[in-house]
Structure formats: C-alpha cells, structure tokens
Amino acid sequence: MRTVVYFKNRKYEIDLSSPLDISIPLTNKEDNVNAWDLEAPRIEPHTEGEFIGKVSEGAAVNFNDIWFNPHSHGTHTECIGHITKELYSVNQYLTNYFFLAELVTIAPEKYQQDFVVSRKQLQYALGNKKREALIVRTLPNTTQKLNRQYSNSNPPYLLEQAAQYLVDKGISHLLIDLPSIDKEKDGGALLAHKAFWNFDGKRRMHATITEFIFVANNIPDGTYLLNLQMAPFENDASPSRPVLYKIITT
C-alpha cells in the first residue's frame, strides 16, 4: 500500500506495506539487552493470595506484572528531563511522530582509549542533507546487539563536538544503536547529551534521543519516513518503537 505525504511543501510517496521495525523488544530472559548494572527485566504473573494471573495455572486471564528500566532494557526515547533537576516528561514533549530521517552507517574511530563517533564522520555521512531525524548504525553490526550485556564494557559514544554538529544541522531527533550517546563512565559529565539539548543555553525541549535501536544490515543507508512510536509514560524516557518506511518517489 502506498500513500503520499508532504513535508515542508514537498511531496513524498511512501510504501506502507513494508514497515522496517528498528526497535529491540523487551523480554523476561536473562539475555535481554542490558546496561548500567541492572538485573534483567521481569515479566511474571501477578500473585495475590491464592490468585496466580496465568491461564495455565487456572486463572481466566493472563495478568502479568512487568519490571524494567527504560534506559537499561531496550529501545527507549528520552527528553531533556533525563538530565535536569526539573521534571520533564517525554510524553509531553514528543508531540509529533513522523519525521524525514536519514540512516547512516559509521564505524566508530579510535580516540584515546575509546571508540567514538566524531564530528568529521557525521559531516561526511550527512553532507548537505537537511533532515529532522538522524539514525546512526554503528559497525560492526551483528545480531549480538539484540542481547549484548553492555555493563562495564565501555561501548562507543558520541564526542561532544559531534552532538553539537547535529544541533547546528537542525537534527531534532537522534536515534542510535548504543546504550548511550555518552561515555559509560564519564563522572556525570554527559557532554553529548548536554550539547544535543543545548543544556546551558536555550534548551531544545522538543528534541529527543532514542538509544538501543537495532538496524538490520539489509536496510540500506538513505532517506526514510520515520514513525517514532512511544508508550505514553509520564517519565523522562519511555519504551519506544521506531519504524522506518521506504520512500518510493520524491
């Protein structure tokens, strides 16, 4: 099924029949993707007295309790409330859900003792393109990203200058296949987060960061329509399901 959409007075034909889900699902397994030294998420029947919320145990319905942390256990979208004293909810600040997005693939480069995504790499990948959203797939890109235990592994991250470049380019929504755009242990500096949200200036309240995505290798780099779906949690971050749609013509 195809439909026509308009962005900034330009017409795009979209293929709605083949959505490309780039989220990582939440499971109750020990190999659920994880970071920040948390235990695995739990999805288990609610129990109360003799009641067990499971049909196979005699209940009329399955009635599960779920414990998880959106930042640690899968694809999530966060707003500036992630790093502020004030309470800001991503549910209040993500109010549009479709964006023209560019998917780029980058091999993080060595920087001191780390691997990072640099400003120069983003400049090369984006060129003169102007997009509302940027999706970064890092190399190597294997299905191990679906189950990796990231705690104490010092995964790649964005340099502050790289995040500032995205602000200068007008990118409002950044999606990446890493647990954080900042270094795992940086003493609370959060340089990339602060740069992307312009923390010390006129804050970019409607800008979002989505982490822990997974973009399969059979999805080519290029321009897509992004549908950024998100559970309506009143929290700084919420589980999310970014979906890409191919653009047939422009």
Question: In this structure, is residue 50 part of a structural domain?
Answer: no
Residue type at 87 in one-letter notation: L
**Tens place of pLDDT for every residue, the chain, 250 residues?**
778 878 778 888 998 889 999 999 999 999 999 999 999 999 999 999 999 999 999 999 999 999 999 999 999 999 999 999 999 999 999 999 999 999 999 999 999 999 999 999 999 999 999 999 999 999 999 999 999 999 999 999 999 999 999 999 999 999 999 999 999 999 999 999 999 999 999 999 999 999 999 999 999 999 999 999 999 999 999 999 999 999 987 6
Q: What is the CATH number of the domain that holds 218?
A: 3.50.30.50
Question: In this structure, is residue 106 part of a structural domain?
Answer: yes
Question: In this structure, is residue 218 part of a structural domain?
Answer: yes
Question: In this structure, is residue 202 part of a structural domain?
Answer: yes
Range of the structural domain that residue 226 is part of = 2-24+70-249
Q: Which two tokens stand for residue 177?
A: 């296949």
What is the count of structural domains for the chain? 1
Q: Are 108 and 136 in contact (CB under 8 A)?
A: no
Question: In this structure, is residue 48 part of a structural domain?
Answer: no
pTM above 0.85, yes or no: yes
Question: In this structure, is residue 175 part of a structural domain?
Answer: yes
Question: In this structure, is residue 37 part of a structural domain?
Answer: no
Question: In this structure, is residue 32 part of a structural domain?
Answer: no
